[in-house]
Structure 1
Amino acid sequence: MNNETLKIFDDNKKTLGVATREEVHTKGLWHETFQCWIISHEENKTYIHLQVRSPFKKDWPNLLDITAAGHLLEHESIKDGVRELKEEIGLDVPFESLIPLEVVRYCVKKGSFIDNEFAHVFLLENNQPFDDYHLQHEEVSGMVKVKFEDFKELFLGNKTKIEIQGFTYNEESLKEKIHHFVSKDQFVPHSFNYYEKIIQLIDNKIS
């Protein structure tokens, strides 16, 4: 995977060429990613769906994260990003069903790992049964949903814990239902500004 090649850019999004994924993250080169947040509507409530990262992931294992996301490879267009939905959570949808939100400048650093992204962020409404997700276990070990209002209040600092429900797969690959409370430290540590931005973008679409 580290030998995959990605298009690289300057900080004004002018194309510079290509580099391997490893080079991109060691040198902090700007590159493109696809992100999709899924929501559903149940009993007049909006829920946001989150993936549970696999325990085998090198970065931030077992934490809650964007519904589906990934890098756009050198030969891929933004439309090709829908493959992440199919690969990670088994959802086969046309690109046209996605609601474009914004291209978000995303930066995070963890030790020698530097991630500078132009993230193409989308929203998808999916009211199919929650258990219909089929997960790529090397990447995703579970799916949960949370009321969007609770998610918003958590990252705006008005709540310290929120209720999640969903399922995970245990070490024997058996599906287990989960229903408990989580705090911010159980989410991938995207910057506060990132979560604040995503909340604003989704809020604008569902209000």
Structure 2
Amino acid sequence: MPEMLDIVDENGLPTGRAVPRTQAHAEGLRHRTSHVWILRKKQGRLQVLLQMRCAAKDSYPGCYDISSAGHIPADAEFVESALRELKEELGVDATSADLQECGLRRFHFEAEFHGKPFKDNQVSKVFCLWLDREAEDFTVQKSEIDYVRWFDLDEALRDVAQGAIPNCIFMEELEMVKKAAERAKLSGGK
């Protein structure tokens, strides 16, 4: 049975039509994803956990990416999917109360991977999760991720902007995460 995705409007609301994931990417049909950026404070520095996508991924193999992200299956919701992906990809048990919502992002791009066209048209809900755990203590899903690594957030912003590391990270989203972390700090949070 193929993974089915809801086709959604520009606000991420399902239209009542669902298609297989492969069709959504072949035709560039708008669908939803959840993105979770894991943050921590270490020795006075704000850090972000990035995953290295495995070579078999259908898009951006061998690139650094969001801590945890995934497509939202048909009839599922953003938070539910974010929590499921955290557990599957990184072995992290979290609750909805642990997630800090950063905002909604819409984007569309086209590329070619493994010799095939790939059209991505997403509405993504972006979250932060504060979790102080060493990289080797995450249980990574080897079919998706080679490893995870902590970066100082400012270092990650610089490296992504300069293309110093192979990545599929959108600067707009990483900056959104930094602003959310700064708001949390100002409000007495992490």
TM-score, normalised relative to structure 2 = 0.84
Matching residue's letter, 1:49: L
1:68 alignment partner AA: S
1:147 aligns with 2:127: no
Contact 1:53/1:63 (<8 A) preserved:
yes
Give the residue type in structure 1 aligned to 2:32: E
Asked if 1:93 is matched to 2:94, the reply is yes
TM normalised by structure 1 equals 0.78
Identity among equivalent positions (%) equals 24
Query: Which SS does the other structure have where 1:84 is aligned?
Result: helix
Structure 1 counterpart SS, 2:108: strand
**Matches of 1:204 and 1:107 in 2, distance apart?**
28
Equivalent position SS for 1:74: coil
| 2:59 matched residue in structure 1 | 59
Q: Specify every segment of 5 or more residues in structure 1 that has no aligned partner in the other structure, as ranges.
A: 161-182
Shift of 1:30: 0.9
Q: Distance in 1 between matches of 2:140 and 2:48?
A: 17
User: SS at the partner of 1:75?
Assistant: coil
Residue identity matched to 2:104: V
**Deviation sequence 1:178-199 (CA, Å, 0-9, x none):** xxxxx14x112x4444444444
Structure 2 CA distance, aligned partners of 1:155 and 1:52?
A: 14
Cα offsets for 1:77-134 (capped at 9, x unmatched):
2221211011111111112111011011122211321111110110001013332100
Contact 1:100 1:123 (8 Å CA) reproduced: yes
**Which amino acid letter does the alignment assign opposite residue 144 of structure 1?**
R
| Aligned-partner SS, 2:133 | coil
Does the 8 Å CA contact 1:152/1:199 hold for their aligned counterparts?
no
Matched, 1:121 2:119: no
2:140 matches 1:135: yes
SS of residue paired to 2:143: coil
Give the root-mean-square deviation of aligned CA atoms.
2.1
Question: How many correspondences in the alignment?
Answer: 180
